[in-house]
Amino acid sequence: MTNATEASHPSATSGRPVVVGVDPGLTRCGVGVVGGPVSHPTLVHAECITTSADLPLEERLLALHRRLRAILSEVTPTAVAVERVLFSGNVRTAMPTGQAAGVALLAAAEIGVPVTAYSPNEIKQTVTGDGAADKQAVARLVAVQLGLDAPPRPVDVTDALAVAITHLAHSRGPTSGRITTPARATLAAAQHDAARVGRGGWEAVVAARAARPTRGTLDRGDAA
């Protein structure tokens, strides 16, 4: 089952970079497709692929693989970026996440698209300028950067879009500390404005800016 949001934008065949970001998971796998350039990123497709825990493991992996391959065929990406799986002690949770990440790597390799992995801290640092940012901050700045009225849901999708944005930014520079994305520029400007006018912090300023008329997306709803 999938929950998809799609926007009409040029594919990779137009010469613009198109990155598929993957937030791996077996129960919920976030997929976010972003078109470049990094100075003006656009939402191409966002989807949460789900598999039922009632199915055998091999069938869940097969279902995930089939849907990922279908997405890759639809958007013809120039690159795939995956959030790196970190083993923090909970092996029971990490194992299926790692299996899902492996499926994403396989799907990309089958069509000859290069894959890059980024750690959670690298993603947060690139998107928000703060490697310790929480998910809500990442989601808000992803929405601002893509010109969306609100972050896509569920959070797996927003995380996947953040992965894609990170790859777009890193593809033009080797050091994340020197990368400036529109989201980070927005954050810096909001911090400055908040300090100057006392509007309650950068979050309030970003929220006010996000409330302005922006590019919309077409919600296709749930699809089996």
Please identify every residue annotated as catalytic.
23, 83, 156
- Whether residue 106 contacts residue 55, with contact meaning beta carbons closer than 8 Å, is answered with no
The phi-psi region of residue 62 (left if phi > 0; otherwise alpha if psi is between -120 and 50; otherwise beta) is alpha
Nearest to 148 by CA among 162, 167, 132: 162
Return the axis-axis angle of helices 120-128 and 182-197, rounded to nearest 10°.
Answer: 60
The two beta strands, 42-50 and 79-83, are unpaired
